[in-house]
Amino acid sequence: METATDMLTITDDEAVTLSVFVPGPWRAPLPTVDETSRESLVQAAPRGRHLAASDGAPRGRAAEVARRLSAGLRAFFLLADADGNWLPRGATVYLYGPALDAIEVTHTVADAGVHYFQLDPVPGQWHALTLLAGSVYSDGFAARPEGSDAPRPVAALLHVVRPDGIRLVRITRGSVTTGRGPVPARFPSVAEAVSWLLA
């Protein structure tokens, strides 16, 4: 059963501070902070200072999350528009741990700029992402509600972080491709695409 001590919920501004505690690049999006602007990042960072002790080290749940994120990003799932740009509405999930079958933290990003870090999630998080990919392959995306001007997702992107870099597949209804190159490689099923991701 999930408890308050299993979860860290922070804003984008606080995530800027948390990112300093994690070795390696911060890959998760910050919907309400312009990551390309140094000024925007400098303004955001002080709002997360309560996550650190007086010596600058992370404290409390932030320290535990930072420690587990250091195990490494293993996979992530997001929705994209026709140009491959991330769409904040919908599922955006990052998995961290020593291996895909040993995930220690799930990181969910909400479009309002809120980040949810679940410590010790139930087993099967990677399988859940592949099922999500499978549902997009089978059913596509629901039609945009009448009167809505929100961008509609065109594809789901499933990424795996490997020693040689990141591999991804692009999933739409009835189609799975590598998502890269002028002529992306096609797969007959999500299962075969996942086998390629893990090969």
pLDDT of residue 144: 73
99 vs 148, more confident: 99
3-state secondary structure the chain: CCCHHHEEEEEHHHHHHHHHCCCCCCCCCCCCCCCCCHHHHHHHHHHHHHHECCCCCECHHHHHHHHHHCCCEEEEEEEECCCCCECCCCCCEEEECCECCECCEEEEEECCCEEEEEECCCCCHHHHHHHHHHHHHHHCCCCCCCCCCCCCCCEEEEEEEECCEEEEEEEECCEEECCCCCCCCEECCHHHHHHHHHC
pLDDT of residue 123: 95
**Residue 126 pLDDT > 60:** yes
pLDDT of residue 5: 59
**Residue 143 pLDDT > 90:** no
Taking only the tens place, the pLDDT of each residue in 163-178 is 999 999 999 999 999 9
163 vs 181, more confident: 163
Burial 76-88 (b: 16+ CB within 10 A, else e): bbbbbeeeeeebb
**Residue 145 pLDDT > 80:** no
Largest CA distance in the chain: 55
Give the pLDDT band of residue 146 (cuts 50, 70, 90).
confident
